[in-house]
Amino acid sequence: MVLPIFINPDPILRKKSIKIKSNEIDFEEIKTLSLNLSETMAERDGAGLAAPQIGKSVRMIVANTKSGSLCMINPKIIKKSWAKEWDTEGCLSLPGIYGDVKRHKKLTCEYLNNHGKKKKIEAKGLMARVIQHETDHLDGILFIDKAKKIEEHEIL
């Protein structure tokens, strides 16, 4: 189900999300939330989406990959490259606003999949940027908090 995106300055976007305990995972609820996040991200042509953006204050994100949507529960970045790079970012919760953000080029992230299994991903480039952007959402951080050269574009 495609859900409405919460738009800044909605307070849920600034709230730290609650960790989902692996022994308390309601798989049907998680599966539904994961599917809703994925469908909403795809419908809005997003690279990623965090649960707070659809009004759920839990630590779950989805990222768009070449092989489909990747659901990450309780994502935790455990390793970051020393090297960083600037690139332009936007956000579905800040329509029409773009800015340059400096992010780590590579990272390693641990998470639970939607079956409660512990996983690890090594990401670089755009995928590393998406994971950093979406995990920031889980801590109430928006890209505009880190961006330089913020620009507003008219939405047609």
The catalytic site residues sit at 134
Q: For the chain, state the CA radius of gyration.
A: 15
Structure tokens belonging to residue 144: 């505009």
Give the span between the Cα atoms of 143 and 83, in whole angstroms: 19
- Beta strand 106-112 with 68-80 is antiparallel
Are 150 and 89 in contact by the 8 Å Cβ rule? The answer is: no
CA atoms of 156 and 134, how far apart (whole Å): 25
**The one-letter amino acid at 29:** E
CA-wise closest residue to 97 among 152, 54, 49, 19: 152
Dist. CA 124–CA 129, nearest whole Å: 8
Q: Would you give the DSSP letter of residue 16?
A: P
